[in-house]
Amino acid sequence: MQHIPPPPVTTSEIRVVDAAGTPRILLSAAGDGPAIVLIGRDTKPAAAIALDSADRPSVKLANPSPGGPVAAIEIDDKGAHVKFDRAGGASSYLFLNNGGTSGVVLIDAKGVRQAAILVGADGKVTLEGVEGNAPAGR
């Protein structure tokens, strides 16, 4: 006897709940783009994989520690980047833009760019905020 799979379920959103009925996973095609969201015990999003309205992917990781840094891997209109942010303005990121420039940028708690290492599409290396070179934001 041949096994016939059940028909597909068609919907715009599925919520997977734990034994207490609390949503823990959200699979959604509603809104700007599809997303898979893992929800923490505190009912806040802990991790998300999504496509934006232009089908650019992202992975975002929240921090369960209040005020702790968060992380994102994203493709946006400028290129690709891995970014770490902390409440209050501090951040750092690694990027490769669409024009071929890549780099690492460090931003202080006041949101001011303090240091960067950039490699242009032509291979030229630029150091900012290192050995007396002023960062671009100063």
Q: What's the N-to-C CA distance of the chain in angstroms? A: 74
- CATH number of the domain that residue 133 is part of: 3.30.1120
Are 92 and 81 contacting, i.e. CB atoms less than 8 angstroms apart?
no
Residue 123 has pLDDT above 70, yes or no: yes
Q: Once rounded to an integer, what is the mean pLDDT over residues 110-121? A: 95
* Domain identity same for 71 and 133: yes
2 pLDDT exceeds 90? Answer: no
pTM equals: 0.83
Say if residue 86 is in the same domain as residue 54: no
Q: pLDDT tens, 30-70?
A: 888 999 999 999 999 999 999 999 999 999 999 999 889 99
The residue among 62, 91, 110 that closes a domain is 62
Q: Which backbone phi and psi does 18 adopt, to 5 degrees?
A: -85, -175
Residue 78 CB contacts under 8 Å (≥ 6 apart), including other chains: 95, 97, 98
Please compute the mean of the pLDDT values over residues 83-90 and round it to a whole number. Answer: 93
Query: Is residue 117 domain-shared with residue 136, that is, in the same domain?
Result: yes
Residues 122 and 81 in one domain: yes
Instruction: Say yes or no: 82 and 122 in one domain.
Output: yes
Clarify whether residues 94 and 120 are in a common domain.
Answer: yes
Average pLDDT over residues 93-104: 97
* Same domain (yes/no): 32, 76: no
Are the C-beta atoms of residues 82 and 69 closer than 8 Å to each other?
no
Residues spanned by the domain of 2: 1-62
Residues 47 and 107 in one domain: no
Hey, how many other C-beta atoms are within 10 angstroms of the C-beta on 107? Answer: 22
Say whether both 58 and 72 belong to one domain.
no
Q: In the predicted model, is pLDDT for residue 137 greater than 70?
A: no
pLDDT of residue 138: 46
Task: Say whether both 104 and 50 belong to one domain.
Answer: no
